[in-house]
Amino acid sequence: MEQLKSADPIFLHIEELIKKKDYQGVYNYIDTTEPPKDWVVELPSKIGKDKYKTIKLEVMEATMNRIFGQCAITNISTPVINQDKSGRCSVTVTVIYQYKGFDNFYNSLHGIASVVVSDLNLLELATPKASSMALKNAIKQLGGLFGKYLNKLEDVEAELPSSTENISKEEQLQSITEGIVSANNMQDLKSWRHVIYSKVSTPDVQALYETRLRQLSNNQK
């Protein structure tokens, strides 16, 4: 990736520390090193008037691969969906991201993120965005090189514009149905309850939910 070239001196120093088997030194250096300026992008913030600084996910993942070699998402949770009385919805996703440490053991980073949208029609856009934000949240835990200290306040929610083109009701119902069928436990399934009994749902979808609820309940006995 072209943007990684600006970090060549950083990578060179990390490689030197690895050769010396100073692995803790590598982690300390990652934590205390600021990302190159061309990695940082500024976005409008919901907190105050200041811009929110971040690093693109593809740059973060490419950097992880450059340093550690083997990295991958090993788990993405079923989205937890909540809707308030005004119709606003929030989607919360958690991820587990693993990378191969210098001792050849895999280490896990846990990330979580919520996306708030003004309308249920934007739910399908919110879910993948929450997944990406959760992954960034996980990687950032390694420290400054990944943007951990770019902002004074953590912008844990992202607002998607309400002007986004509406998703058809058929597409909404398909997404909800897939969520019901793919639920692995009662907690996953109940996270869909607010949507199941909202105006966008149908009696058939509600019946499917109740059937799946009974199936999972019987499995726990």
Is a pLDDT exceeding 80 seen at residue 209?
A: yes
* CA distance readout (Å), 196 to 130, 133, 205: 20, 25, 7
In the predicted structure, residue 171 carries a pLDDT above the cut 70: no
CA angle 182, 116, 184 (to 5 degrees): 15
For residue 47, give the amino acid letter. I
Q: Is the pTM of this model over 0.75?
A: no
The overall average pLDDT reported for the chain is 82
pLDDT at 167 over 70: no
pLDDT digits (tens, 9 = 90+) for 79-136: 888 877 777 888 888 989 999 999 889 999 999 988 888 877 677 677 778 888 899 9
Q: Report which listed range, 118-122, 143-147, 170-174, 206-210, is most confident.
A: 143-147
Q: Lowest mean pLDDT of 65-74, 75-84, 129-138, name the range.
A: 75-84
Amino acid identity for residue 192 in this structure: W
Q: Which domains does the chain have, with CATH numbers?
A: 2-167 (3.30.390.80), 168-221 (no CATH)
Which H helix or E strand runs over 61? helix 57-68
The pLDDT value recorded for residue 119 is 72
Residue 83: predicted pLDDT: 79
Neighbours of 136 (CB within 10 A): 21
Contact assessment for residue 68 and residue 173, using Cβ atoms and an 8 Å cutoff: no
